[in-house]
Chains A and B, each alone.
Chain A
Amino acid sequence: MADVTGTVTEAEATEVTDPERGRRVRLAWEGSSRLVVGVVLLLVQLLVTYDSVAWLQVILALGGIYGILTGVGQLIRAGFGSRTDPATWISMAWLIVLLAFVFMQLAGLFDSLEANFDDRERPPSFTTDEPLGTDQLGKSILAQSIRGARISLIVGLGAVGIGLAVGSVIGMAAGYFRGVTEGTFNILTDAVLAFPALILLFSIVAIFKGSVLVITLALSVLSIPTIGRLSRANTLTFAAREFVTAAKSMGASNSRILFREIMPNVALPLASYAFIIVAVLIVAETSLAFLGVGIDPISTPTWGNMIQEGRDPNLLEDAPHIVFVPGVMMFLTVLSLNRIGESLRVLWDPREAKL
């Protein structure tokens, strides 16, 4: 069964037919049983097999998470109609939870980055005051990971914000005025995108050492031409449409046509790609930190810095959670952003909506 967008679901939900009702009841049963099994597996993993072999713990945890996620997904489909896409809702829920933690930290909760040498490499345990354990210096993994989330979101959103502000304007100008403007735009974006992305970032951090501001600006060097090209391509199709010709013949100025007629149409597809670009940029920022050339690890813990510090095979043996806690958080965040972007794209681009 294909994923169909939410609008269809609402129209159908008004007249719930009998097969739909039966499907929902079945979904509710299967969903709740999966949820229960998942919760039980996770509880066993957390409470019973505390000292046992790692691979058993990993299998139990993965099984538990799989059960809970698919169970919640089926319950969502049982509640809101069997054609709702639960993955998108779960993605939004994850981002909201992450943001909630970031704001809780800003309000002063679990923000201690103190080293405590008597309490190093403690494994995660939800019954203690360090639910996600401590690292090789005895610093709280939870506090560091939330800090990392804050930095990643600031850098990713900041770079995309700059990209949207600058890239959309120059892209629209290139697509609307054509001629020399477009030629210059093409050569410049070609040149920037001719570098493999990571290599371009290397060049920038080699000259200016990494700080949050430098990395944000470096990433916007990538986001500006990408967003610029997207908005140019979209502008080209809209500039040829009748409503633009009509506005022109009524004597509207260029800036009025660009900002009042074309921009609202270009903004929608750009917004859906913006989520995907944020995801890509977060991966890029983390990769730089992982290579040891990103944001300074001493002053600022980021996901990439944490993973870089814990990746040594010997440390991985003793304390895998130093890598895997920020790793899983990052994976879920990137996955959620991709998922939301993909749903929005399908929603706003009906040409690609079939399957």
Chain B
Amino acid sequence: MKTVGRTIIRIIPVLLIVSFFSSSYVELLPGDPAIRLLGQERAQEPAARELVHRELRLDDNVIVRYGKWLGDVVTGDLGESVKTHGLKVSDTIRQRLPITLELAVVAQALALILAIPLGVYAAYRAGRRIDRALNTASFAAISLPQFLVGILLIFILFNQLDVLPPQGWTRLTEWDWWDHTRRLIMPVVALSLTEIAVFQRLLRADMMATLQNDFVLTARAKGMSPAHVLFRHALRPSSFSLITLAGVSTGRLIGGTVIIEVLFQLPGMGLKMVDSITGNDLVVLQGLVLVVAVAYILLNMLVEITYALLDPRIRRG
């Protein structure tokens, strides 16, 4: 329980700094933010300027503004887009979050499903031909950015073979499961390739250390099959750092979903983020950044706590 308390206390200053930073974009803009946000012509209209000033609370000082903004955020009000009148940021998130979440969860699940057997097998056959081939392949995959994988997939599966649609999305609410799955394949594969490689390398290293233990030799000497020893005896003690990494790697996965959403034109959070940067819609951007960053911090906290509960060696007090 002590670990849990310590972890929670440690993230409070981090959360404050992160939220302060996301609320202070406007402060950092050079010149009158209204001009930057609206463009020269629309900034001449008093009504539009009025809206920007009210929405961004430009008449308060930094600390007061941060306090009010935080108060709003806690009650679920992330403000409105200055560009498109009356479009609430919280509504945008409600529409787009499920798509991003689906991509990330399916990709992570696929990565674990493929990486665990590959990592276990590579450790079992360490130094042999297949292990070396897997080693080379995973090293190459780590150096291959997600957008290149995505473009390569589009080039092969759409341009050359014409079996999958290159871009676009079908909402689950349209109940077209077949089309939904077809449009999910390329983004998910592109997202999970790096993860598979990273997980596979890590599990292989941990598994090889576990296989040095006497209990593995005992189990083999008792006549148990290699598969039984590998998956029932050795996998569990080898999987602790994999669990941690699966949590930490969501940061890379979040960046990855942004890139993949832009490449495949999927209407998730990432596509909106990039649109709001190019369109100077800072209120939307700061809302999205805050949600993503806080979710990421909380998730990592959760992983840290789970890890402490799972592994008695680091449970303290």
- B5 smallest CB distance to A (angstroms): 17
Residue interface bits A191-233, CB-to-B below 8 A is 1, else 0: 1001111110011011100000000000000000000000000
Q: Complex formed: what's the CA distance from A187 to B15 in Å?
A: 10
For the complex, what is the distance from the CA of A313 to the CA of B160, rounded to whole Å? 11
Identify the interface centre among A202, A292, A334: most chain B CB within 10 Å of its CB: A202
Q: Could you tell me if B277 and A293 are in contact, using CB atoms closer than 8 angstroms?
A: yes
Are B151 and A323 in contact, with the CB atoms below 8 A? yes
Min CB gap A134→B, angstroms: 19
Interface stretch, picked from B20-28, B47-55, B173-181, is B20-28
Within the complex, the shortest CB–CB distance from A165 to chain B, in Å, comes to 24
Other A-B pairs, 20, CB within 8 Å; known A202-B285, A287-B255, A290-B147: A1-B127, A2-B127, A187-B14, A187-B17, A191-B13, A191-B21, A195-B296, A196-B254, A197-B252, A198-B258, A199-B258, A202-B273, A203-B25, A205-B277, A290-B259, A291-B262, A313-B159, A316-B159, A335-B139, A335-B143
1/0 per residue, CB under 8 A from B, across A155-168: the answer is 00000000000000
Task: Please give, as numbers and ranges, the residues of chain A lying within 8 Å of B258 by CB-CB distance.
Answer: 198-199, 291
Any A CB within 8 A of the CB of B208:
yes
Cβ of B10 within 8 Å of any chain A Cβ, yes or no, is yes
Query: In whole angstroms, how far apart are the Cα atoms of A203 and B25 in the complex?
Result: 8
In this assembly, does A330 line the interface, its C-beta being within 8 Å of a C-beta of chain B? yes
Q: Which residues of A contact B158 (CB under 8 A)?
A: 313
* A interface SS class: helix
Cβ B293 vs Cβ A313 within 8 A: no
Question: How many A residues face the partner with a CB closer than 8 A?
Answer: 43
Contact residue among A203, A292, A323, A334 (Cβ-Cβ distance under 8 Å from B289): A203
Q: A286 interface residue, CB < 8 Å from B?
A: yes
- Least CB distance from B151 to A in Å reads 6
- Given known pairs A207-B29, A334-B143, the reply for A313 and B251 (CB within 8 Å) is no
**Which residues of A sit under 8 angstroms from B293, Cβ to Cβ?**
194-196, 199
Q: Which residues of B contact A348 (CB under 8 A)?
A: none
Contact assessment for B259 and A320 in the assembled complex, using a CB-CB cutoff below 8 Å: no
B259 in contact with A287 (CB, 8 Å): yes
| A290: B residues at CB distance < 8 A | 147, 259, 262-263
Q: Is residue B167 within 8 Å, beta carbon to beta carbon, of the partner chain? A: yes
A194 in contact with B259 (CB, 8 Å):
no
Chain B CB within 10 A, most for which of A188, A317, A342 = A317
With A191-B14, A207-B25 known as contacts, the answer to whether A316 contacts B151 (CB < 8 A) is: yes
Find out whether the CB atom of A355 lies under 8 angstroms from the CB atom of B208. yes
Given contacts A292-B274, A355-B126, contact A307 B159 (CB under 8 A): no
Interface residues of B in 117-161 (CB under 8 A from A): 126-127, 139-140, 142-145, 147-148, 151, 154-156, 158-160
CA distance A338 to B198 in the complex (A): 13
Most A CB within 10 A of own CB, among B25, B277, B278? B277
Output the nearest chain A residue to B208 by Cβ-Cβ distance: A355
Interface residues of A (CB under 8 A from B): 1-2, 54-55, 187-188, 190-191, 194-199, 202-203, 205-207, 279, 283, 286-287, 290-293, 307, 311, 313, 316-317, 320, 323, 327, 330-331, 334-335, 338-339, 342, 355
Q: Are B142 and A199 in contact (CB under 8 A)?
A: no
Question: Who on chain B is nearest to A323 by CB?
Answer: B151
In the assembled complex, the Cα of A286 lies from the Cα of B147 at a distance in Å of: 10
Q: Given B147, B289, B297, which contacts A307 in the complex, CB threshold below 8 Å?
A: B147
User: How far, in angstroms, from A128 to B180 measured CA to CA in the complex?
Assistant: 46
- Write 8 A-B pairs (CB below 8 A) sorted by A numbering: A2-B127, A54-B160, A188-B17, A191-B21, A194-B18, A203-B25, A203-B285, A307-B151
Q: Please name all residues of chain B whose beta carbon is closer than 8 Å to the beta carbon of A195 when the two chains form the complex.
A: 18, 289, 293, 296
Chain B neighbourhood of A279, CB < 8 A: 143
CB atoms of B148 and A327 under 8 A apart = yes
* B282 in contact (CB, < 8 A): yes
Nearest CB to that of A191 among chain B residues?
B17
A190–B301 CA distance with the chains assembled, in angstroms: 12
Q: A355: shortest Cβ distance to chain B, in Å?
A: 7
Contact A307 B148 (CB under 8 A): yes
Residue ID in chain A nearest B148 by CB atoms: A327
Report Cα–Cα, A73/B201, bound state, in Å.
23
Per CB-CB distance, the 5 closest pairs between chain A and chain B, nearest first, are A198-B255, A191-B17, A335-B143, A196-B251, A196-B254
Shortest distance between the CB of B8 and any CB in chain A (Å) = 14
Interface pair B126/A190, CB less than 8 Å apart = no
Instruction: Report if B166 contacts A (CB, 8 A).
Output: yes
Q: With A291-B262, A292-B274, A293-B277 in contact, do A199 and B208 touch (Cβ < 8 Å)? A: no
List of B residues within 8 angstroms of A355 by Cβ: 126-127, 208
Q: Complex formed: what's the CA distance from A334 to B155 in Å?
A: 22
Find chain A residues with CB under 8 A from B273 CB.
199, 202
Identify B139's interface contact among A194, A292, A320, A338, CB under 8 A: A338
Q: Smallest CB–CB gap between B58 and chain A, Å?
A: 16
Across the interface, which residues of A come within 8 angstroms of B289, CB to CB?
195, 199, 202-203
Q: Which residues of B contact A286 (CB under 8 A)?
A: 145, 147
- A2 to B127 alpha-carbon distance, docked (Å): 6
Q: Which residue of A lies closest to B297 (CB)?
A: A194
- Please tell me which one of the listed residues B142, B255, B276, B297 contacts residue A338 in the complex, with CB atoms under 8 A apart: B142
Return the contact of B10 from the options A1, A190, A196, A283 (Cβ within 8 A): A190
B271 nearest in chain A by CB position? A291
Taking the complex as formed, is B73 at the interface, i.e. its CB lies under 8 A from any CB of chain A? Answer: no
User: In the complex, A56 Cα to B142 Cα: how many Å?
Assistant: 26
Q: Given A55-B160, A190-B10, A196-B296, verify A320-B25 contact (CB < 8 Å).
A: no
